[in-house]
Structure 1
């Protein structure tokens, strides 16, 4: 195994990416579900479900961010996912 394919133990950088970009991604995904999920935005009690859906998505992203090989890779992938999710939400809404 060469040095390039090894996962770098940069805990601080990956944690910061997971906290901020993971939260933004979770917000965008929950927003997409709120607008385009069953019943649309006006479904009864959907706001409560959306509120509880945010935490598991955010914590999942935060957990998996440590599998990226570097902080740079985590930043690029999560940044791209954020651009895609927020673009989709704003474009289709």
Structure 2
């Protein structure tokens, strides 16, 4: 593939990418934090320190997703990939909660 045929990253998709990162990034951070809470040391009843760590884990994960969302070529791809990641993470969380409850 030559350089002329490649799609260049453009700034016109910044709003869609930002919204995908903000909305779906929050959901992904929530699901991953929940997975850590269930699968981490001592399970869901790990105590105060684990609860605090799970809560504070959301901010860096959300910020990481929001930072890397601008690497998608357009906003549609950001919404689709992050939507799929959310579906997988929440499905895994549901399976873990159902089997460990």
1:6-17 mapped onto 2 (5 Å cutoff): 6-9=8-11, 10-17=13-20
Aligned alpha-carbon RMSD (Å): 1.1
3-state SS of the aligned residue for 2:9? coil
Unaligned runs of 5+ in 2: none
Question: In structure 2, what is the equivalent of residue 27 of structure 1?
Answer: 30
- In 1, Cα distance between equivalents of 2:93 and 2:56: 19
Unaligned runs of 5+ in 1: none
- In 2, Cα distance between equivalents of 1:65 and 1:17: 8
Question: In structure 2, what is the equivalent of residue 47 of structure 1?
Answer: 51
TM-score by length of 2: 0.87
Kindly name which structure, 1 or 2, has the bigger radius of gyration based on alpha carbons. Answer: 2
TM-score by length of 1: 0.94
3-state SS of the aligned residue for 2:29? helix
Question: In structure 2, what is the equivalent of residue 36 of structure 1?
Answer: 39
Higher deviation after alignment, 13-22 or 40-49:
40-49
